[in-house]
Amino acid sequence: MFTLTVCNHKGGTGKTTTSINLSAALSLSGKRVLVIDLDPQGFLTRMMGLGEPEPDQSSLVLFQQDINKPPPIQRLTAFDIIPSSPALSAAMRKLNQPTDVLWVKEYLQAAVHGYDVVLLDTAAAVTVYSLNALVASQAVIIPVAPEYQPVVGAEQTWHTVQMVRKKLNPGLREERFLFTMVDGRKKNHRAYREYMRGKYGQIVLQPIVRTCTTLSVSARNGTTVFDTDATARGAVDYANVADAIIWMMGPQEAELIGDGSSGVTDRESRFRAATTPTR
């Protein structure tokens, strides 16, 4: 089971949109995907058309460690999900012990089985929940829009990831920046992309997510960009990002790319698309 966190300390970077559509793309690539919403505001939960769950049917159960009850998983068309509850906000005040960063890791090990990928969506802040996600993960995706404040937030997030790897989770082996909301017509977008690639090199994913109207209207009532328009640039871009993530998972997983399920039939061309910079 490959555990992946999507986070950025700065809001407005396409984080939740990435969590939704990357999870859908991974599912279309043949992976069984579970998404866990750890944001107390529950943006992902609402975007997937779910109402506010009871606290004991939300991701709050990960911090109660009652593994005798089955996880409160809801099954959607695109992927499975453990939704968020506003009760996470009140519970956060009680999670103030050093060991409270281990709840999610221990819960996943004890109670969640049968998934290829578990994706953790977090709030745009450093909280005990985002630290739990990082401690439980093998990889991190940091969405970053090519603008000043999102780039600063992404770099701050990267420093947090380094701290977590050094102090709390040496198994956090991969972190990648993912450019989102890219407008190829804007000079500053190109300048920030060049800056990030020059400074961080290979940890900046080569696939990018371009501006796409379909992305902004797709996540309604449980739909993703692939439901709305599988040929839209947003769908193509997230399919390429999914391929890059599968390659991160290891060579055996990468060999499975190419069944055509996310709209591209040739594995070689999909890999080239995932490793060639898009201008």
For 11-69, the pLDDT digits (tens) are 888 899 999 999 999 999 999 999 999 999 999 999 998 989 999 999 999 998 777 78
Residue whose entry in the numeric block shows the structure tokens 């993960």: 137
- Is the pLDDT at 114 greater than 90? The verdict is yes
CA 185 to chain centre: 27
What's the pLDDT at 239? 96
Please give the pLDDT value at position 115. 97
Summary mean pLDDT of the chain:
88
**Domain 2-202 classification at class level:** alpha beta
Q: Are 53 and 47 in contact (CB under 8 A)?
A: no
Q: Taking the complete model, does pTM exceed 0.85, yes or no?
A: yes
* pLDDT tens-place string over residues 57-100: 999 999 987 777 889 999 998 899 999 999 999 999 999 999 99
Q: What is the pLDDT of residue 147?
A: 93
- What DSSP assignment string belongs to 56-72? GGSGGGGGTT-TTSPP-
**Mean pLDDT of all residues in 254-267:** 44
Higher-confidence residue of 180 and 254: namely 180
Residues 206-230: what's their mean pLDDT?
83
Task: Give Cα separations from 149 to 10, 13, 146, 156, 273 (angstroms).
Answer: 7, 10, 9, 11, 28
Q: How confident is residue 218, by pLDDT bands cut at 50, 70 and 90?
A: low
Among residues 18, 53, 58, which one has the least CA distance to residue 38?
A: 58
153: pLDDT strictly greater than 80: yes
Mean pLDDT of 256-268: 42
- pLDDT score of 256: 52
pLDDT score at 10: 86
Percent of the chain scoring above 70 in pLDDT: 88
DSSP notation for 101-119: GSHHHHHHHHH--S-SEEE
Tokens of 77: 């068309």
- Report how far residue 181's alpha carbon sits from residue 160's, in angstroms, rounded to the nearest whole number: 23
